[in-house]
Amino acid sequence: MIDLMTDKVTPNDREKHDEGRQGEAYAPFVQDPNQYQKRFYIESYGCQMNFADSEVVASILNQEGFGATRNLEEADLIFINTCSIREKAEQTVRKRLTEFRKLKLRKKGMLVGVLGCMAERLKSKFIEEERLVDIVVGPDAYRSLPELVAEASGGQKAVNVLLSRDETYADISPVRLDSNGVSAFVSIMRGCNNMCSFCVVPFTRGRERSRDAASILDECRDLFEKGYREVTLLGQNVDSYYFVEESTNRVITFANLMEEVAQLSPLLRVRFSTSHPKDITDEVLHVMARYDNICKYIHLPVQSGSTRVLQLMNRTYTREWYLAKVDRIREIMPDCGISSDIIAGFCTEEEQDHLETLAVMEYSRYDMSYMFFYSERPGTLAQRRYTDDIPLEVKKRRLQEIVDLQGRLSFESNKRDLNKSFTVLIEGDSKKSDQDWMGRSSQNKVIVFPKENYPLQKGDYVNVQVTDCTQATLLGKIIA
Contact footprint for ligand 5AD (CB under 6 A) = 85-86, 198-199, 301, 303, 341, 343, 372, 374-375, 377
Smallest distance from ligand SF4 to CB 273, Å: 11
Distance, CA of 172 to CA of 56 (rounded, Å)? 7
Nearest to 442, CA basis, from 311, 307, 266: 266
Nearest to 222, CA basis, from 266, 255, 265: 265
> Of 69 and 369, which has the nearer Cβ to ligand SF4?
369
Q: Which residues, listed in sequence order, are joined to residue 184 by a DSSP beta bridge?
A: 231
Quick check: helix, strand or coil at residue 259? helix
Nearest to 466, CA basis, from 443, 448, 454: 448
> Of 151 and 341, which has the nearer Cβ to ligand 5AD?
341
**337 near 296, Cβ under 8 Å?**
yes
Other CB atoms closer than 10 Å to residue 156's CB: what's the count? 12
187 part of the interface to ligand SF4, by CB under 6 A:
no
472 part of the interface to ligand SF4, by CB under 6 A:
no
Nearest to 204, CA basis, from 91, 124, 117, 137: 117
360 part of the interface to ligand SF4, by CB under 6 A:
no
Interface residue with ligand SF4 among 187, 237, 256, 304 (CB under 6 A) is 237
Smallest distance from ligand SF4 to CB 94, Å: 22
Smallest distance from ligand SF4 to CB 218, Å: 26
> Of 272 and 374, which has the nearer Cβ to ligand 5AD?
374
Residues 6+ apart with CB under 8 A from 287: 255, 258, 259, 262, 294
Smallest distance from ligand SF4 to CB 415, Å: 31
> Of 86 and 229, which has the nearer Cβ to ligand 5AD?
86
> Of 28 and 301, which has the nearer Cβ to ligand 5AD?
301
192 part of the interface to ligand SF4, by CB under 6 A:
yes
What is the DSSP annotation of 350-376?
Answer: -HHHHHHHHHHHHHHT-SEEEEEE---
Quick check: helix, strand or coil at residue 387? coil
- Residue 462 contact among ligand 5AD, ligand SF4, none, beta carbon within 5 to 8 Å by kind: none
194 part of the interface to ligand SF4, by CB under 6 A:
yes
- Residue 377 contact among ligand SF4, ligand 5AD, none, beta carbon within 5 to 8 Å by kind: ligand 5AD
Beta pairing class for 461-469 and 421-429: antiparallel
196 part of the interface to ligand SF4, by CB under 6 A:
yes
Peptide bond into 274 cis (omega under 30): yes
For residues 250 to 289, the per-residue mask of contacts with ligand SF4, x marking binding by CB under 6 A and - elsewhere, is --------------------------x-------------
Query: Which residue stretch of 1-9, 144-152, 199-207, 209-217 sits at the interface with ligand SF4 (rule: CB under 6 A)?
Result: 199-207
Smallest distance from ligand 5AD to CB 87, Å: 8
202 part of the interface to ligand SF4, by CB under 6 A:
yes
> Of 208 and 436, which has the nearer Cβ to ligand SF4?
208
Smallest distance from ligand SF4 to CB 198, Å: 7
Distance, CA of 336 to CA of 331 (rounded, Å)? 10
> Of 75 and 343, which has the nearer Cβ to ligand 5AD?
343
Torsion of the alpha carbons at 278, 282, 284 and 290, rounded to the nearest 10: 160
- Residue 343 contact among ligand SF4, ligand 5AD, none, beta carbon within 5 to 8 Å by kind: ligand 5AD
Residue nearest ligand 5AD, CB atom distance: 341
For the chain, helix (H) and strand (E) counts, in that order, are 15, 21
Smallest distance from ligand SF4 to CB 174, Å: 21
Smallest distance from ligand 5AD to CB 303, Å: 5
Helix orientation angle between 392-416 and 351-364, rounded to the nearest 10 degrees: 10
Smallest distance from ligand 5AD to CB 344, Å: 9
> Of 283 and 341, which has the nearer Cβ to ligand 5AD?
341
Amino acid symbol at 281: T
83 part of the interface to ligand SF4, by CB under 6 A:
no
Where helices occur in 245-334 by DSSP H, the ranges are: 254-262, 282-290, 307-312, 319-332
Smallest distance from ligand 5AD to CB 371, Å: 8
Smallest distance from ligand SF4 to CB 380, Å: 9
Residues 6+ apart with CB under 8 A from 341: 299, 301, 302, 303, 369, 370, 371, 372
Nearest to 272, CA basis, from 238, 242, 223: 238
Smallest distance from ligand SF4 to CB 276, Å: 5
Distance, CA of 445 to CA of 231 (rounded, Å)? 16
Please give the helix or strand (H or E) that residue 132 lies within, else none.
none
- Residue 375 contact among ligand SF4, ligand 5AD, none, beta carbon within 5 to 8 Å by kind: ligand 5AD
Distance, CA of 384 to CA of 110 (rounded, Å)? 40
> Of 56 and 192, which has the nearer Cβ to ligand SF4?
192
Site residues (vs ligand SF4, CB under 6 A): 192, 194-196, 199, 201-202, 236-237, 276
